[in-house]
Structure 1
């Protein structure tokens, strides 16, 4: 079954607000609206989302474009970084590098990459089992766990070289299509503006 994983685009960063509660910025919201308007997602698709605000806002926009409902699951959340909370950009990038480089280590108390990978893969498998034959599935989520899912499907080791920041738009709002049963990627991370309808469905 072909599925699509889409990361939330740009967010409103606020060090005084828990990261899971951050919402889309004006730019991020417009990118999501433009993506939904391109008819990438076919009618009848099932839309799944992390319960983090930014992912749900993306999912609501995509779902509204085809008259669908959004099914949320907290197990689709980004890797748990609550041990450190908000980090300044330079320190965040350094810590994220270590997260991917040492997947079996809890970096500064973060959820281990290997555990986050098992979580997202299992959650996507469970969700796909509920999708009717012939229907499409769209997952609205986050960059790190999306990358871990992509590594699994492609049979590649966990590496930040696979991260959306290395292939797509650095502000997020990237996607890849995949077939989990066949363990095959339809494409690498691609900015939502560049993703073509023929690559999914």
Structure 2
């Protein structure tokens, strides 16, 4: 049997090109021709690996979710407590670092915009966001347990933290000049610390 062509590498190359183009031009501006140009491929090769632009977008959602999860896991490995893992989760999503990809944040915001009016994209987007929220919920439950407290309204807290993160993504993409540099991760950590302290006092 002959050697399998480098389909996985080509697909990753195309998905990466869509991320780059979407971050600058949005989904509507990310034509197959423009994606091909950024990938350094002929447009025909795009269609060989993907049926259409929407299929590339679905693959991009998976890639972006995987990137965020990898950032979290690389930070969580050194953590000993649940609170440290919560810090790692916040840093993975909101802090800068050598592994940061600003294009990934901008592309994720564009994916969310597309999900608002495309049922297929919405399904994949919600699945990826749901997986992130499941990890967060597990971490927060353990934080409460470490403090000897029962987690009350945990789903509400998970939703609030997720809304903060998604809102920070949107603002950093659409209104960066209005934001203090590096505000998001420290402020979310401080807000959660005060929330936990208030819960301890109840």
| Higher strand fraction (1 or 2) | 1
TM-score for the superposition, normalised by structure 2: 0.29
